[in-house]
Chains A and B, each alone.
Chain A
Amino acid sequence: MIDLVIPEDLWNDDREGVIVTWLYQDGASVESGKVVVELMVEKAQMELSAPASGRLTILAAADAIVHRGEVIGRIG
């Protein structure tokens, strides 16, 4: 199991982010390096890629408020 973490440097202050949408459903197979989730901080949209290949477990659903360093999913 590898954690999908919001990197500490994805944005540079303590503002809250929000999950806009996951590009895969919970339990889907994902490939390392492919974008899996879109986030937004204020009006800036960002994305995270899968750190590994495997089955995706979503921990923070769409619309959830998230913070830097937070684990939002697992892959394995």
Chain B
Amino acid sequence: MAAPPNASSAGQSDRILTMARAGREAVFSAMRKDPKVFVIGEDVGKLGGIFGTAVGVQEEFGPSRAIDTPISETGFIGIACGAAMAGMRPLVELAYVDFFGVCFNQIYNFAAKTHYMSGGQYRMPLTMMIGVGGGYNNAAQHSQTLYGTFAHMPGIKIVVPSNAYDAKGLMHACIADDNLTLWMVHKATCGLGWLGAPLKTAMAAVPETDYSIPFGEARVWREGTDVTLVGLGLTVHHCLQAADLLATSGISAEVIDLRSLVPLDRETIFASVAKTGRLVVVDEDYSSFGVTGEIIASIAERDPRLWKAPPRRVAYPDVPVPFSRPLEDFCMPDAQKVVAAVKSIMVPH
């Protein structure tokens, strides 16, 4: 069970929540306080969202504030954009990130750019709740993370919580923001029974009171001196597990959880690499042109003298996600791959 170091600052709690439940608590609270907040999307009303973020919302707030839509992403995201421009604060559920391609124009040309294109006359207080990631044999069109695809576009803030405490605090930050935000949750961390037993390190003590976690503040989960491990969402848990394994070999690993992808807390990563001299970035998105390359470049271009060894990336190979379990396991990042990457740069060069 994760015990976030800052949990006490927001009020003690004995409750240990799953990420789905913690995110949902923020949704309920925001909807009770502000009649302009509503949810819209596929299976968001009667079912409560395929990943459980809106369970019970329609019972409490009625079908006008929990709107089930057809599988017509361009339509309901367009509706949400218009509602946001008119002063509402929609929460859009699109279930699987893989299907953003269907409505990408609404997102990156419209939702992400309207504030800029209107000279600040229109705001777009729109939050999208998105399930990402693989590891459960759902094949190439239901298993991607696509972090880098969205992070590449100016005008979108992106959070990727790794645990229930952050899931709630970052959801509050997203809803309160006056422009487009993406709350991306890896399915393996959200704690829904049908996806297997909840990941213990993704559950956390969550205060019942509202609290917000600022964008762009990474968290150091574990301090170390030999190597910096950077992860987001599920890969934070791979990094923590790898750090435990490395400790048995006498290697001290520092683990950083990005929490926000955009804005990116480069300062925290830089400070860590300045101390350790080694960097392994762990990401479930595709290896090329993605998060891992961006983070490594950000550090390298700032001070090339930091490195005691070449940086490494542990990411998804540049192939569609295989359906076969052995093939998917072969491709997915995990703690053993992180350990192997670290050991490859710990030997004297």
Contacts and interface: CB of A to CB of B under 8 A. Distances in A.
A23 B25 CA distance: 14
A32 interface: no
Contacts of B198: 20-21, 62
Interface string B240-262: 00000000000000000000000
Given A45-B52, A45-B192, A23 B15 contact: yes
Contact of B16 (A18, A23, A45): A23
A49 interface: no
A25 B13 CA distance: 11
Nearest to A34: B15
A21 B191 contact: yes
Contacts of A18: 193
Contacts of A25: 14, 16
Contacts of A29: 14
A22 to B, nearest CB: 7
B197 A24 contact: no
A48 interface: no
Contact of A28 (B14, B17, B193, B194): B14
B197 A20 contact: yes
B15 A24 contact: yes
Nearest to A24: B14
A24 B16 CA distance: 6
Contacts of A34: 15
Interface in A1-41: 18, 20-25, 28-30, 34, 38-40
Interface in B41-55: 52, 55
Interface in A28-76: 28-30, 34, 38-40, 43, 45, 62-63
Give the interface centre of B15, B17, B18 by most chain A CB atoms within 10 Å: B15
Give the interface centre of A22, A25, A30, A39 by most chain B CB atoms within 10 Å: A25
Interface residues on chain B, size class = 10 to 19
B196 to A, nearest CB: 10
Contacts of A20: 191-193, 197-198
B92 interface: no
A22 B16 contact: yes
A49 B20 CA distance: 18
A21 to B, nearest CB: 5
B203 interface: yes
B84 to A, nearest CB: 31
A6 B197 CA distance: 20
A21 B189 CA distance: 13
Contacts of B191: 20-21
B193 A38 contact: yes
Interface in B177-231: 191-194, 197-198, 203
Contacts of B197: 20-21, 62-63
Given A20-B198, A21-B198, A21-B203, A40 B16 contact: no
B226 to A, nearest CB: 34
Interface of B: 14-18, 21, 52, 55, 191-194, 197-198, 203
Interface of A: 18, 20-25, 28-30, 34, 38-40, 43, 45, 62-63
9 A-B pairs with the lowest CB-CB distances in the bound complex, closest first? A40-B193, A20-B193, A43-B194, A28-B14, A21-B198, A23-B15, A45-B193, A63-B197, A24-B14
16 contacts: A18-B193, A20-B192, A21-B18, A21-B203, A22-B16, A23-B21, A24-B15, A24-B16, A25-B16, A38-B18, A38-B21, A38-B193, A39-B193, A40-B193, A40-B194, A43-B193
Given A39-B193, A62-B197, 17 more contacts: A18-B193, A20-B191, A21-B16, A21-B18, A21-B197, A21-B198, A22-B16, A23-B16, A25-B14, A25-B16, A28-B14, A40-B193, A40-B194, A45-B192, A45-B193, A45-B194, A62-B198
